[in-house]
Amino acid sequence: MLSIRVTATISSSSTLFFTNSKKLSNKFSYISNPLNNSSKPIKWNCKNSRMEASKSSFVTKASAQPLTNPAELIDSVETFIFDCDGVIWKGDKLIDGVPETLNLLREKGKRLVFVTNNSTKSRKQYGKKFETLGLSVNEEEIFASSFAAAAYLKSIDFPKDKKVYVVGEDGILKELELAGIQYLGGPEDGDKKIELKPGYMMEQDKDVGAVVVGFDRYFNYHKIQYATLCIRENPGCLFIATNRDAVTHLTDAQEWAGGGSMVGAILGSTKREPLVVGKPSTFMMDYLADKFQIQKSQICMVGDRLDTDIVFGQNGGCKTLLVLSGVTSLSMLQDPNNSTQPDFYANKISDFLSIKAAAV
């Protein structure tokens, strides 16, 4: 039997769900709850949904320009949204110049927000990581794709009698707990094996109304089959992905297979496209703009990935800055086959510090 955990705990962290979910659901007509009519399966076409970024939805931009005047960019926006992996840190190693850069931007009165597609941690757990690395970052400034999954389910009034099957790690579980959503699966299913005896059939919980898939170091065949059964056989069951990143930085030594590999396995067995709630979907950008009451034109998105970070910013109508401290190299950016061009690029975010040197 799979264990089920239920919680209705409300903390300061969970306040975000209750203050914004109703507003978002009313504000954005494309957010609705397919489980209200569960008599027949819902077929999601994410290629036509605003939840999934469409590369054909915006015109190819001119080539990115090197960041030669960081002061001008800083003065032109109110908020900087930073990706974390490859921008702030690599694995557990802080990238050079990050503390000084963040301090500089705060001194200039800029709002800083940190958005990561890594779903292995909750916002509270990421807060501890920032603290361990010597960075002073408030939990309310942190938004992970684990949070985005829970926030999306709250925004559609996910039925209280339904459950979520999680293919992922502790971060997703903790955010679902804060949202008061029932769940099963997660890391504890990592030890489960399937013995294929004659006539054996796996049975899934018929009350599972959504499957959330994120990065999972405990990924196995049991999880693939269980998630597949829920999505294919439970009427109206949602298939939600925290992200589709191909690679990630588990250590600073090399790239590792990312959450997109887990999502791809479930996509392959179900033939269903997922709803992506992390970058580059518009859900998180809409959520942040609504929460902080900021115009998207007054935001600069800073990231190391073209297909998630930069597209995320462009889909939201933000200024974009690519840093070459992560997965994207200058040759990749300037490749003739690359159609995603940020406004600017820099070696790393500490290039902002050149304005201090110029002032001396």
Q: Is 83 annotated as a binding residue?
A: yes
Q: Tally the C-alpha atoms within 13 A of residue 320's C-alpha that lie toward its C-beta.
A: 25
3-class SS of residue 233: helix
CA distances from 193 to 28, 186, 190, 206, 222 (A): 42, 14, 8, 21, 6
Q: DSSP string covering 276-301, please?
A: E-STTSHHHHHHHHHHHT--GGGEEE
* Angle, CA 341 vertex, CA 340 and CA 343 arms, to 5°: 145
Active-site residue flag, 309: no
Q: How far is CA 170 from the centre of its chain?
A: 15
Which of the residues 85, 205, 309, 343 is marked catalytic?
85
Contact 87, 303 (CB under 8 A): yes
- Tell me the two tokens of residue 257: 């297979």
Measured CA to CA, the distance from residue 125 to residue 130 in angstroms comes to: 9
Which of the residues 83, 286, 309, 343 is marked catalytic?
83
Contact 39, 268 (CB under 8 A): no
3-class SS of residue 210: strand
CA distances from 28 to 105, 282, 354 (A): 32, 11, 41
Active-site residue flag, 83: yes
- Tell me the two tokens of residue 150: 């829970």
Contact 190, 224 (CB under 8 A): no
Give the residue numbers annotated as catalytic, written as ranges: 83, 85
Residues belonging to the binding site are: 83, 85, 279, 304
Residues belonging to the binding site for Mg(2+) are: 83, 85, 304
Residues belonging to the binding site for substrate are: 279
